[in-house]
Amino acid sequence: MNNIGQNILTLQSEIPAGVTLVAVSKTYPPGIIMQAYQTGQRVFGENRVQELLSKQPQLPADIEWHLIGHLQTNKVKYVAPFVSLIHSVDSLKLLQEINKEAGKQNRTLSCLLQMHIADEESKFGFSEEEVTSVLQNNPPHNFPNVQIKGVMGMATFTDDEEQVRNEFRHLRGIFDRLKAGFFASSPVFSEISMGMSGDYPIAIEEGATIVRIGSRIFGER
Protein backbone atom coordinates (compact mmCIF):
# COMPACT_ATOMS: atom_id res chain seq x y z
CA MET A 1 0.00 0.00 0.00
CA ASN A 2 1.34 3.44 -0.88
CA ASN A 3 1.64 6.14 1.76
CA ILE A 4 -1.42 8.12 0.80
CA GLY A 5 -3.65 5.09 1.04
CA GLN A 6 -2.07 4.13 4.35
CA ASN A 7 -2.48 7.66 5.70
CA ILE A 8 -6.17 7.65 4.85
CA LEU A 9 -6.70 4.26 6.48
CA THR A 10 -4.86 5.37 9.62
CA LEU A 11 -6.95 8.53 9.85
CA GLN A 12 -10.17 6.64 9.25
CA SER A 13 -9.32 4.36 12.14
CA GLU A 14 -8.65 7.35 14.44
CA ILE A 15 -11.65 9.45 13.50
CA PRO A 16 -14.88 8.43 15.21
CA ALA A 17 -17.85 7.28 13.15
CA GLY A 18 -20.03 10.31 12.58
CA VAL A 19 -17.10 12.65 11.94
CA THR A 20 -16.57 13.32 8.22
CA LEU A 21 -13.03 13.39 6.88
CA VAL A 22 -12.50 15.98 4.15
CA ALA A 23 -9.26 15.15 2.32
CA VAL A 24 -7.81 18.56 1.48
CA SER A 25 -6.21 18.06 -1.92
CA LYS A 26 -5.18 21.63 -2.73
CA THR A 27 -1.93 21.87 -4.72
CA TYR A 28 -2.00 18.11 -5.49
CA PRO A 29 -2.69 16.89 -9.03
CA PRO A 30 -5.48 14.52 -10.06
CA GLY A 31 -3.17 11.49 -10.16
CA ILE A 32 -2.33 11.91 -6.49
CA ILE A 33 -5.96 12.54 -5.58
CA MET A 34 -6.83 9.25 -7.30
CA GLN A 35 -4.59 7.40 -4.85
CA ALA A 36 -6.81 8.60 -2.03
CA TYR A 37 -9.94 7.89 -4.06
CA GLN A 38 -8.83 4.31 -4.56
CA THR A 39 -8.86 3.67 -0.82
CA GLY A 40 -12.52 4.70 -0.76
CA GLN A 41 -12.16 8.38 0.11
CA ARG A 42 -14.91 10.35 -1.64
CA VAL A 43 -14.95 13.75 0.08
CA PHE A 44 -12.28 16.19 -1.05
CA GLY A 45 -11.67 19.84 -0.19
CA GLU A 46 -10.14 22.60 -2.28
CA ASN A 47 -9.56 26.19 -1.24
CA ARG A 48 -9.31 27.91 -4.64
CA VAL A 49 -12.09 28.05 -7.20
CA GLN A 50 -9.79 28.07 -10.23
CA GLU A 51 -7.96 24.97 -9.05
CA LEU A 52 -11.21 23.19 -8.19
CA LEU A 53 -12.63 23.97 -11.64
CA SER A 54 -9.59 22.56 -13.38
CA LYS A 55 -9.48 19.31 -11.36
CA GLN A 56 -13.14 18.46 -11.00
CA PRO A 57 -13.74 17.40 -14.64
CA GLN A 58 -10.62 15.20 -14.58
CA LEU A 59 -11.78 13.15 -11.61
CA PRO A 60 -14.64 10.71 -10.95
CA ALA A 61 -18.11 12.19 -10.82
CA ASP A 62 -18.97 10.60 -7.46
CA ILE A 63 -16.45 12.78 -5.61
CA GLU A 64 -18.11 15.23 -3.22
CA TRP A 65 -16.25 18.50 -3.59
CA HIS A 66 -16.12 20.86 -0.62
CA LEU A 67 -15.00 24.44 -1.09
CA ILE A 68 -13.09 25.36 2.04
CA GLY A 69 -11.41 28.63 1.04
CA HIS A 70 -12.60 32.17 0.58
CA LEU A 71 -15.21 32.49 -2.16
CA GLN A 72 -15.69 35.71 -4.11
CA THR A 73 -19.27 36.46 -5.11
CA ASN A 74 -18.37 36.67 -8.80
CA LYS A 75 -17.12 33.06 -8.72
CA VAL A 76 -20.17 31.46 -7.12
CA LYS A 77 -21.70 30.74 -10.51
CA TYR A 78 -18.82 28.47 -11.47
CA VAL A 79 -19.07 26.16 -8.48
CA ALA A 80 -22.86 26.24 -8.03
CA PRO A 81 -23.53 23.42 -10.53
CA PHE A 82 -21.55 20.76 -8.69
CA VAL A 83 -20.11 21.73 -5.30
CA SER A 84 -21.55 19.76 -2.39
CA LEU A 85 -20.63 21.94 0.60
CA ILE A 86 -19.31 25.50 0.85
CA HIS A 87 -17.52 25.86 4.21
CA SER A 88 -16.61 29.50 3.82
CA VAL A 89 -19.71 31.69 3.80
CA ASP A 90 -18.56 34.88 5.48
CA SER A 91 -20.92 37.62 4.31
CA LEU A 92 -24.58 38.31 3.66
CA LYS A 93 -23.72 39.26 0.09
CA LEU A 94 -22.19 35.83 -0.49
CA LEU A 95 -25.19 34.06 1.03
CA GLN A 96 -27.50 36.00 -1.28
CA GLU A 97 -25.38 35.22 -4.31
CA ILE A 98 -25.22 31.50 -3.47
CA ASN A 99 -29.01 31.47 -3.10
CA LYS A 100 -29.42 33.13 -6.48
CA GLU A 101 -26.99 30.87 -8.36
CA ALA A 102 -28.29 27.72 -6.68
CA GLY A 103 -31.78 28.74 -7.80
CA LYS A 104 -30.61 29.04 -11.40
CA GLN A 105 -29.28 25.48 -11.17
CA ASN A 106 -32.47 24.23 -9.52
CA ARG A 107 -30.35 23.13 -6.59
CA THR A 108 -30.26 23.67 -2.90
CA LEU A 109 -26.68 24.42 -1.92
CA SER A 110 -25.32 23.37 1.44
CA CYS A 111 -23.22 25.92 3.30
CA LEU A 112 -21.47 26.55 6.57
CA LEU A 113 -21.08 29.94 8.23
CA GLN A 114 -17.39 30.64 8.64
CA MET A 115 -16.62 32.13 12.02
CA HIS A 116 -13.55 34.09 12.95
CA ILE A 117 -12.26 32.32 16.07
CA ALA A 118 -8.49 32.73 15.73
CA ASP A 119 -6.35 35.31 17.38
CA GLU A 120 -5.06 36.38 13.95
CA GLU A 121 -6.07 39.21 11.69
CA SER A 122 -5.66 37.45 8.37
CA LYS A 123 -8.37 34.85 8.62
CA PHE A 124 -11.80 35.36 7.13
CA GLY A 125 -15.04 34.85 8.97
CA PHE A 126 -17.92 36.44 10.83
CA SER A 127 -17.79 37.52 14.44
CA GLU A 128 -20.63 36.11 16.52
CA GLU A 129 -22.16 39.57 16.71
CA GLU A 130 -22.11 39.96 12.93
CA VAL A 131 -23.59 36.58 12.16
CA THR A 132 -26.31 37.07 14.76
CA SER A 133 -27.32 40.38 13.26
CA VAL A 134 -27.26 38.96 9.72
CA LEU A 135 -29.57 36.12 10.76
CA GLN A 136 -31.86 38.42 12.74
CA ASN A 137 -32.36 40.63 9.72
CA ASN A 138 -32.35 37.82 7.16
CA PRO A 139 -33.89 34.68 8.63
CA PRO A 140 -32.78 31.43 6.97
CA HIS A 141 -36.11 31.01 5.14
CA ASN A 142 -35.13 34.08 3.08
CA PHE A 143 -32.68 31.77 1.31
CA PRO A 144 -34.83 28.95 -0.08
CA ASN A 145 -32.01 27.58 -2.22
CA VAL A 146 -29.48 27.48 0.58
CA GLN A 147 -29.29 24.97 3.37
CA ILE A 148 -27.24 26.36 6.24
CA LYS A 149 -25.80 23.24 7.84
CA GLY A 150 -23.60 24.66 10.57
CA VAL A 151 -20.37 26.52 11.21
CA MET A 152 -16.71 26.36 10.24
CA GLY A 153 -13.63 27.85 11.84
CA MET A 154 -9.85 27.75 11.92
CA ALA A 155 -7.87 27.95 15.14
CA THR A 156 -4.79 30.08 15.55
CA PHE A 157 -1.61 28.55 14.12
CA THR A 158 0.20 27.99 17.42
CA ASP A 159 1.78 25.26 19.54
CA ASP A 160 -0.33 26.38 22.49
CA GLU A 161 -2.82 23.54 22.73
CA GLU A 162 -4.87 25.25 25.40
CA GLN A 163 -5.43 28.22 23.14
CA VAL A 164 -6.44 25.99 20.25
CA ARG A 165 -8.80 24.06 22.51
CA ASN A 166 -10.38 27.27 23.78
CA GLU A 167 -10.93 28.52 20.25
CA PHE A 168 -12.61 25.27 19.21
CA ARG A 169 -14.71 25.37 22.36
CA HIS A 170 -15.70 28.91 21.49
CA LEU A 171 -16.83 27.76 18.02
CA ARG A 172 -18.87 24.99 19.61
CA GLY A 173 -20.50 27.61 21.85
CA ILE A 174 -21.36 29.78 18.85
CA PHE A 175 -22.85 26.73 17.12
CA ASP A 176 -25.03 25.99 20.16
CA ARG A 177 -26.27 29.58 20.42
CA LEU A 178 -27.04 29.87 16.70
CA LYS A 179 -28.82 26.54 16.83
CA ALA A 180 -30.99 27.66 19.74
CA GLY A 181 -31.62 31.11 18.32
CA PHE A 182 -32.21 30.47 14.62
CA PHE A 183 -32.16 26.77 13.75
CA ALA A 184 -34.00 25.07 16.60
CA SER A 185 -36.46 23.56 14.13
CA SER A 186 -33.83 22.73 11.52
CA PRO A 187 -32.22 19.33 12.08
CA VAL A 188 -29.82 19.92 9.17
CA PHE A 189 -28.05 22.61 11.19
CA SER A 190 -25.79 20.02 12.75
CA GLU A 191 -22.23 20.44 11.49
CA ILE A 192 -19.12 21.91 13.08
CA SER A 193 -16.19 21.95 10.64
CA MET A 194 -12.98 22.39 12.61
CA GLY A 195 -9.60 20.72 12.87
CA MET A 196 -6.72 20.36 10.39
CA SER A 197 -3.60 18.16 10.29
CA GLY A 198 -2.03 19.83 13.31
CA ASP A 199 -5.05 20.04 15.58
CA TYR A 200 -7.78 17.61 14.54
CA PRO A 201 -7.59 15.39 17.67
CA ILE A 202 -8.38 18.44 19.83
CA ALA A 203 -11.14 19.52 17.44
CA ILE A 204 -12.77 16.09 17.67
CA GLU A 205 -12.64 16.20 21.47
CA GLU A 206 -14.34 19.59 21.32
CA GLY A 207 -17.17 18.42 19.10
CA ALA A 208 -16.07 18.63 15.45
CA THR A 209 -18.35 16.77 13.05
CA ILE A 210 -16.14 17.53 10.01
CA VAL A 211 -12.33 17.65 9.96
CA ARG A 212 -10.36 19.07 7.02
CA ILE A 213 -7.03 17.30 6.63
CA GLY A 214 -4.45 17.88 3.92
CA SER A 215 -0.76 17.53 4.69
CA ARG A 216 -1.25 14.55 7.00
CA ILE A 217 -2.63 12.64 4.01
CA PHE A 218 -0.76 14.02 1.02
CA GLY A 219 2.46 15.28 2.63
CA GLU A 220 3.80 18.76 3.24
CA ARG A 221 3.02 21.21 0.47
Ligand X SMILES: *Cc1c(COP(=O)(O)O)cnc(C)c1O
The footprint of ligand X (CB under 6 A) covers: 24, 26, 47, 68-69, 154, 196-198, 212-216
- Which lies closer to ligand X via its Cβ, residue 89 or residue 154? 154
- Which lies closer to ligand X via its Cβ, residue 68 or residue 182? 68
The residue sitting closest to ligand X, measured at its beta carbon, is 214
- Which lies closer to ligand X via its Cβ, residue 118 or residue 135? 118
Least Å distance, CB 168 to ligand X, is 13
User: Considering only CA atoms, which of 116, 115, 78, 111 is closest in space to residue 95?
Assistant: 111
- Which lies closer to ligand X via its Cβ, residue 30 or residue 198? 198
Least Å distance, CB 190 to ligand X, is 20
| Size of the chain, expressed as the number of residues it contains | 221
User: Considering only CA atoms, which of 105, 97, 67 is closest in space to residue 84?
Assistant: 67
Least Å distance, CB 140 to ligand X, is 23
Partners of 148 in the β-ladder: 111
Backbone angles phi, psi at 130, to 5 degrees: -60, -50
Least Å distance, CB 189 to ligand X, is 20
77 to 63, 88, 149: CA distances (angstroms) = 19, 15, 20
Segment (H or E) for 112: strand 109-115
